[in-house]
Structure 1
Amino acid sequence: MASEQQDALEVPAISRSRHLLDDVLAEADIRINGDRPWDIQLHREEALDEIVARQTLGLGETYMRGDWDVPALDQFMTRVIEADLDRHMKTWRNVWRYLRSYCINLQSRNRAFEVGEHHYDLGNEFYAAMLDNRLTYSCGYWKDAQTLDEAQEAKLDLICRKLQLQPGMRLLDVGCGWGSLISYAAQKYQVECVGITISREQRAYASERYANLPIKVHLQDYRALNERFDRIASVGMFEHVGHKNHRDFMEVGKRCLKKDGILLLHTIGKAKPTNTDPWFEKYIFPNGEIPTAARITQAAQGVFISEDLHNFGPDYDKTLLAWHENFERNWPRFADRYGRKFSRMWRFYLLTSAATFRSRRLQLWQWMFTNNRSGGVERIC
C-alpha cells in the first residue's frame, strides 16, 4: 500500500461538519479521518455529497481525483460491501440501468471489440509488469501454490487435466488473451491450438511469442466460429458475453465441439442478476456483465449436459492482491505514460475487486459441459 500511503501524506485530511456518510459508514465500523487502516482520510468535503448522489460511480471518481485516501483500500471496501451500505443510496439511475440491460444488447457484434480497445489494448508491456510470466489475466489456483506464477500454472494444468487433453487433439480457446492456455497446452500436452481474441495487442503478442508452437490466434468475435474441435475452453471471457447472448454462446460451442468433446467454461459469477457496477463499466470493462448460475444453466439447457461445477472464488482475492503488488512495484516505469489518475483508477479496480471476492459477493466458477459424453467426465479439483 506504499503508493496509497504516499498519496495520503501529500494531502492532509480536512476539518469538516458531520455528514450523512458518517452514520452510514459507522455501520461498517469506518470513521472519516479516523486512525485505523480502513478509515478514510477526507481531502475535499464536497466529495461526500458526490458519493451520496452518484453512489459507486461517485465513490470511484472521487478516489481517482484524490478527494480521499485510505491506507488499506481493500479493507475499507470489504467493510463497505459486507455491510451492504449501498442500500442507503438507491436512486432513479438504477432504474434506467436495469431497463437498458434488458432493452439493449450491450454485447452485440457491433460492440464486441469495444472492451478490447478500451481495456486489453492498454499495452502489452504494462500487463507483463503486472501479471505472471505467461500473462494469464484470470484467477489463479492457489491450492498448492506459493507464488503467482505457480498459481497460474496450476490453473492452466487443472484446465488441461479437466479437458482430458491427449496429444494430437485440437483445442479452441474462446477469449485466449495473451495465449497462456494455448501455449501451455501445446507445450505440455502436445495439442494443436486455436485461440480467438477481440484485442489486437493480445493477438500480436501471442502470435509473435509462440510462433514456434502449433498455435493460431485470430482477431475474431466468437459468433463467427465455424470449425470443429476436440475440446473447447473459455477462460475469463464469458463475463463479456451478456445474458442476451448466453444461448448463442452455448450454441456456437455445440456447433464447434465434436460429439465426444468437452467444453470448460471458466467465469466469474454472482448469485442473482444485478446491474453492472457503473464505475467498472465506465472505466474498466465497458459492456461487461457477470453471469448467474441460473442463467448459465438455462442457456445450456437442451444444448449441453452440465457435468461439474467447481467454485474457487476466494483464490481471486489472492490473485488480485498479487497483481496489485506487481502493479505498485512497477508503477514508476509507467507513471509518465499513464499519469496519476490512471494509477488511482487501477488501484481502485484491483483492490475493490479483491474486496468483492473476499466478501463472497463474486465467485469463480469452472463449469464442465459435454455433448452427452459416454461416462461423463472425471471430477478433478
Structure 2
Amino acid sequence: MSASKAVLADLLTEAGVAVDGDHPWDIRVSDERLFHDILLRKNLGLGEGYMRGWWNCDRVDEFICRVLRTGAENRVRDSWRLVVKALPALVCNLQSLSRARVVARRHYDLGNDLFQAFLDPHLQYSCAYYKGMDGSPDNQSDEAVARDLETAQEAKMRLICDKLDLQPGDRVLDIGCGWGGLARFMAEERGCSVVGVNISKRQIAFGREFCAGLPVEIREQDYRRLNESFDKIVSVGMFEHVGPKNYATFMRTVARCLKPDGLFLLHTIGSNTSGPGLDPWIATYIFPNGCLPSIAEVAKATEKHFVMEDLHNFGPYYDRTLMSWLRNFRRAWPSLRGAYGDRFKRMWEYYLQSCAGAFRARDIQLWQFLFTPIGRKQPECRFG
C-alpha cells in the first residue's frame, strides 16, 4: 500500500468509510493516483478524480456527509497549490462589474433545457421549504419526488411573500431574478408589480417570455446600477455571487432603493465561518468566483443601513431539495446526453450530491434574513 493511500485510508476509517468496502458510502478506487492527488489538492483532487472515473461510490452524498461530520478533510495538510488558488479571492475583486458575468456565461447560460429538466415548473434554483412534508427522495417514486418538490418550492415562495407582507400594488425589486419564477408568483398571487434584474442572457430571455402579460419587467442590469424606489426588495440565491469586497456595495444599493417603510428579504447559502469561502472544485467547475457569506459578514455589511428583524435557517431542507434535483436530473438524462456528454453527467451528479452531503453534515447553511430600514416601525411577525 502506498503512503498516500495509507494516510487517506486511516482518515476515511475515522469517518466510517472504507476503500473498496461494501457500504453504499464506501469508495471504490480504480486509479490509485487518486490518493496522491487528494493529498496534494484536497477536494479539488477528489472532485476531479470522480469526474475522471478514478473512483466511484453508490452514495456520494453520504460519503461527503460522513467525511465532513468527522472533520477528516481538515486533517489533510493544505497544499500550496490551493493557497495560490485562493489568493485572487483575497486580493482581487472577483465579482467586479467586468468579472460578474463570468458565472452567468459558464453556469446559468449552460442551457435552459438542462435546468428545466431537473427544477420544478417555477424554475426555482434555490432551497425549497419542506416544512410539514413527510417523505424522502430515497423512498418515493420519481413522480412523488417531482410533485413534492413543486409543492415545497411554492411553499418557499409563499413564505417569502408573507415575510415581505406583499400587498396588491406593491412595487417589488427582485435582485438576481433567475428565470422569473418568483417574480411571476408575486405578480399572480399577490398583485404586485415586479422589476427583476439579471445578467444571464438565457435566463432573461426565458423570464421575459415566462412572465409575459404580467406586470413584470426583467432587465439585463447589474444590481450596482440601480437607483430607484421600491416598496419591497428580495434577493434569492444571488448573494453567493456578490463577493466579500462587494457586500457593502450591495447593501448600500438596497438601502438606496428601499422606501423608508419597506422590507428587504435576503435568501442565501452561508458559511459557518468568515473568510474567502472558496471551494476550489465548485469555483472551478460549477460557480466561478462564488463565495459563501457568514452571518458576521452579512451583519457587518448591513449594520449602517438596516435592522435585522428575523434570521431563519432552514438549511436541512436543502439536502432534500438537492437530492430531488438529482432524481429529476437522472430521470431526464437520456434526453440531455447528446448535448452535454457523460463527463458532464459525472460532474453534475457530483455537484448535487456533494452539496447535499455538505448540508446534511451542517457544514453549510441556508438563511433567510428579513431587514427593515433603520427607524422603521417593527413589522408584525409573519415568519415561518
Deviation at residue 97 of structure 1 after TM alignment: 4.2
The one of 105, 111, 115 equivalent to 1:117 is 105
Equivalence for 1:219:
220
Change (3 A) 1:377 1:255: farther
Work out which of the residue numbers 72, 76, 96 in structure 1 matches 2:59: 72
- Tell me if 1:39 matches 2:3: no
Q: What is the alpha-carbon distance in structure 1 between the residues aligned to residue 101 and residue 34 of structure 2?
A: 34
Q: 2-side partners of 1:100 and 1:377: how far apart?
A: 44
Question: In the alignment, residue 170 of structure 2 is paired with which amino acid?
Answer: M
Aligned 8 A contact 1:307 1:377 in 2: no
The code of the aligned residue for 1:51 comes to I
Amino acid at match of 2:372: T
Structure 2 partner of 1:131:
119
> What is the one-letter code of the residue matched to 2:99?
R
Counterpart of 1:336 in structure 2 is 338
The number of aligned residues is: 367
* 1:220-275 superposed Cα distances (whole Å, 9 cap, x missing partner): 11101111100000000000001111110110001111110000000011111244
Per-residue deviation at 1:337? 1.1
Secondary structure of 1:105's counterpart equals coil
Aligned to 1:301: 303
Specify the alignment match of 1:248 in structure 2: 249
Asked whether the equivalents of residues 234 and 264 of structure 2 are also in contact (C-alpha less than 8 Å), the reply is yes
Match for residue 45 of structure 2? 58
Q: Secondary structure at the match of 1:334?
A: helix
Q: Distance in 2 between matches of 1:331 and 1:280?
A: 21
Instruction: In structure 1, give the amino acid aligned to 2:383.
Output: I
What secondary structure sits across from 1:19 in the alignment?
helix
Q: 2:107 is matched by which residue type in structure 1?
A: H
**Which consecutive residues of structure 1, in runs of 5 or more, have no partner in the other structure?**
1-14
- Give the Cα separation in 1 of the matches to 2:194 and 2:292: 27
TM-superposed deviation, 1:374: 1.4
Measured in 2, the distance between the counterparts of 1:95 and 1:125 equals 37
CA displacement at 1:94 relative to structure 2: 3.9
Instruction: Write out aligned runs for 1:1-381 (5 A).
Output: 19-89=6-76, 90-145=78-133, 147-274=148-275, 275-371=277-373, 372-381=375-384
Q: For the structure 1 residues 50 and 95, does the alpha-carbon distance in structure 2 shift closer, same or farther, using more than 3 Å as the test?
A: closer
Aligned-pair CA distance for 1:98: 4.6
Gaps of 5+ in 2: 135-147
1:103-154 deviations in whole A, cap 9, x for unaligned? 1111111111110110001111110110001100000000034600000000
Letter in 2 for 1:300: T
Q: Distance in 1 between matches of 2:30 and 2:2?
A: 10
How far is the alpha carbon of 1:219 from its aligned partner?
Answer: 1.2
Which stretch of structure 1 is more off in the superposition, 76-85 or 351-360? 76-85
Partner of 2:141: none
Q: Give the TM-score, by structure 2 length.
A: 0.93
Give the letter aligned to residue 110 of structure 1: S
Shift of 1:23: 1.2
State the percentage of identical aligned residues.
Answer: 48
Question: How far is the alpha carbon of 1:377 from its aligned partner?
Answer: 4.4
Residue 347 of structure 1, CA deviation: 0.4
Q: Hey, what's the Cα distance between the residues in 1 that align with 2:36 and 2:377?
A: 60
Q: Is the 8 A contact 1:171 1:233 kept in 2?
A: yes
Q: Which amino acid aligns with 2:10?
A: D
Structure 1 residue 53, shift from structure 2 partner: 1.2
Whether the 8 Å CA contact 1:105–1:244 is kept in 2: the answer is yes
Deviation for aligned residue 1:380:
1.1
CA RMSD of aligned residues (A): 1.4
Conserved? CA contact 2:41–2:82, under 8 Å: no
**Residue 373 of structure 1, CA deviation:** 1.7
Per-residue Cα deviation, 1:313-334 (whole angstroms, up to 9, x for no partner): 1010010010000001111111
Counterparts of 1:273 and 1:95 in 2: how far apart (Å)? Answer: 16
Q: Distance in 1 between matches of 2:361 and 2:380?
A: 31
What is the distance in 1 between the residues matched to 2:158 and 2:43? 37
Query: In structure 2, what is the equivalent of residue 7 of structure 1?
Result: none
**Inter-partner Cα distance in structure 1 for 2:199 and 2:218:** 10
Is the deviation greater in 245-254 or in 39-48? 39-48
- Matched AA of 1:376: P
| Alpha-carbon distance between aligned partners in 2 of 1:145 and 1:228, rounded to the nearest angstrom | 38
1:341: how far off?
Answer: 0.7
SS at match of 2:98: helix
Matched letter for residue 193 of structure 1: V
